[in-house]
Amino acid sequence: LWALEAGGRDADETTAAVTSYLLQYQSDADHWSHPGNRPPSTGSDWTTTYVALRGLASFGTEEQEAEIESRFETVSNWLSSTVPVDTEDRVFQLRALASVGAGQRALGDATHELVVRQRPDGGWAQTAYRDSDAYATGTVLTALLETGRLSRDEPVVRAGIQYLLTSQLDD
């Protein structure tokens, strides 16, 4: 659904069927779980939950509004009470909090947790035990910018962009 949204696809029977599935899938849980274990993206319940929330927000039907609102409320409680483990989790915690309309304090705390993990080289790492990398840095910058938490002129953002430029390979 995220890809369809990015491609400008209009809602139709197929997107309605997928949003219906998302509302039924793991409906007894307080978030969506990841289907596999291929970190970073399919190793994170945070990523899976954000992608589901975004799909529901973009393509949910009028008939699904009450169910979507209820699911967002349930997930919002999980987002606020669960501690992220790594950068992937923190990136998608921030994105998901913005999706459910979390308060400024929750968004500020999630932003802070990302910003303080920036490395001296300007990048971010997947975990505390790894070196900075382009994927972690790119996802952090995208989350901070797309959620409106920081602007391109912030020193943190400029340092992250500089890290990406200087670590880029010739090819």
| pLDDT-based confidence at residue 42 (cuts at 50, 70, 90) | low
Distances (CA, A) of 126 to 12, 29, 85, 108, 119: 37, 27, 10, 21, 11
The neighbouring-strand residues paired with 83 are none
Sign of CA pseudo-dihedral 19, 24, 29, 30: positive
User: DSSP assignment, residue 83?
Assistant: -
pLDDT in tens, 126-143: 999 999 999 999 999 999
CA distance 118 to 28: 36
Distance set, CA 11 to CA 8, 35, 65, 95 (Å): 10, 25, 14, 22
Instruction: DSSP letter for 126, please.
Output: S
Q: 16 is written with which tokens?
A: 């309605």
Q: What is the pLDDT of residues 91-111, one digit of tens each?
A: 999 999 999 999 999 999 999
Compare 23 and 171 and report the one with higher pLDDT: 23
At residue 40, the pLDDT reads: 64
* pLDDT the model gives residue 44: 87
pTM for this predicted structure: 0.90
